[in-house]
Structure 1
Amino acid sequence: MAMKTTACRILDTLKIPYTLHEYDWDEDSLDAVTVAGKLGISPEQIFKTLVVRGDKTGVFMVCIPGNKKLDLKVLATVSKNKKVEMVPVNDLQALTGYIRGGVSPLGVKKRYPIYIDESVEDLDPVIISGGRRGLSISLKGADLVRACKATLCPTSRS
């Protein structure tokens, strides 16, 4: 049985049902498509959590389908910024408490606004990071939005 992470405890508190999935990971293949293959699901069901910084709003998070690329221009408009850029990998842990490959939209050490791609709403299940490498959480897309208090929007392109 996997050890519960902060992300799991948040879902427990909200009484949101979820399933944990553990998988073997390595430093060179932390991408969502690889993880989807290991879990035997389609990449659009895995949502990767990215940390970005807007020129007006500062740091925020965005969750997009694993088979898509973040559209920084669209995200800037949606988040009321002129410009948005990815936060350097080396800053992830200081900002979120998580390391690359284990960033969950839940249980972040500081509460940042979260935007989730609008395709999540109808997904059941959707898979997110459990808060550490090799651990994923499976839950309903609508429950993820509720747990994160997220804003739904277009965020990505193929």
Structure 2
Amino acid sequence: MSIESVQEFLSEHGRGGAIRRTDGSSATVAEAAAAFGVEPARIAKTLSFRGDSPETCILVVMAGDARTDNAAFKARFGRKATMLKADEVEALTGHPVGGVCPFANPESATVFLDTSLKRFDTVFPAVGSADSAIELTPAELEVLSGASAWVTVSRLA
């Protein structure tokens, strides 16, 4: 159901036809990079962190070669960077593990974009399934995701 809701959302914003699908998995950065023929750093992975309450989460979209900087995360969000457990991900994001994306999320999920993405002309976030992506500029990603802010909560590997 997740990819259908994202497809509908992107169609409403004139980008429904830009979704790319692969026959294999694109659930990891390495798989997505291979499937879509781009360097791993350009995969815009969406990480799911615990929010202020058990019913909320923080989604941070960062470059595929970036890692969470725990001190920067705590300084920005005032809390430890605690990833959601697999069984919580779909309930709080509306998307399955491997397909979590910054689009068509429920109100329980707040999206932030990490500045690690700004060094690329285009990036490839998932679109609600473990076999899909869309190519967007960082500016398009900002608009379509409805991101709350750009943050720097990563460090490059």
- Matched-pair contact (CA < 8 Å) for 1:72–1:85: no
- 1:18 to partner: Cα distance: 6.8
- Residue of structure 2 equivalent to 1:64: 62
**Quick one: which amino acid aligns to residue 125 of structure 1?**
T
Question: 1:49 is paired with a residue of what secondary structure?
Answer: strand
Give me the CA root mean square deviation.
2.4
Runs of 5+ in structure 1 lacking a partner?
none
Give yes or no for the alignment of 1:105 onto 2:102.
Answer: yes
Change (3 A) 1:121 1:67: closer
Distance 2:79 2:108 in 1: 22
**Quick one: which amino acid aligns to residue 48 of structure 1?**
K
- Matched-pair contact (CA < 8 Å) for 1:18–1:139: no
Question: 2:91 is paired with a residue of what secondary structure?
Answer: helix
Superposed CA deviations along residues 9-64 of structure 1, whole A, max 9, x for unmatched, are 323323458722211335xx731122102211011111111110145795211011
Higher helix share: 2
Give yes or no for the alignment of 1:44 onto 2:35.
Answer: no
- 1:123 to partner: Cα distance: 2.8
Give yes or no for the alignment of 1:78 onto 2:76.
Answer: yes
- Matched-pair contact (CA < 8 Å) for 2:57–2:108: no
Question: 2:19 is paired with a residue of what secondary structure?
Answer: strand
Change (3 A) 1:24 1:72: farther
- Residue of structure 1 equivalent to 2:151: 153
Higher strand share: 1
Q: TM-score, normalised by structure 1?
A: 0.82
Runs of 5+ in structure 2 lacking a partner?
none
Change (3 A) 1:35 1:46: same
- 1:122 to partner: Cα distance: 5.0
Instruction: Note the 1:110-129 alignment, pairs <5 A.
Output: 110-121=107-118, 123-129=120-126
Structure 1 stretches of at least 4 aligned residues deviating more than 6 Å after TM superposition = none
Change (3 A) 1:100 1:156: same
- The alignment of Structure 1 onto Structure 2 pairs a total of residues equal to 152
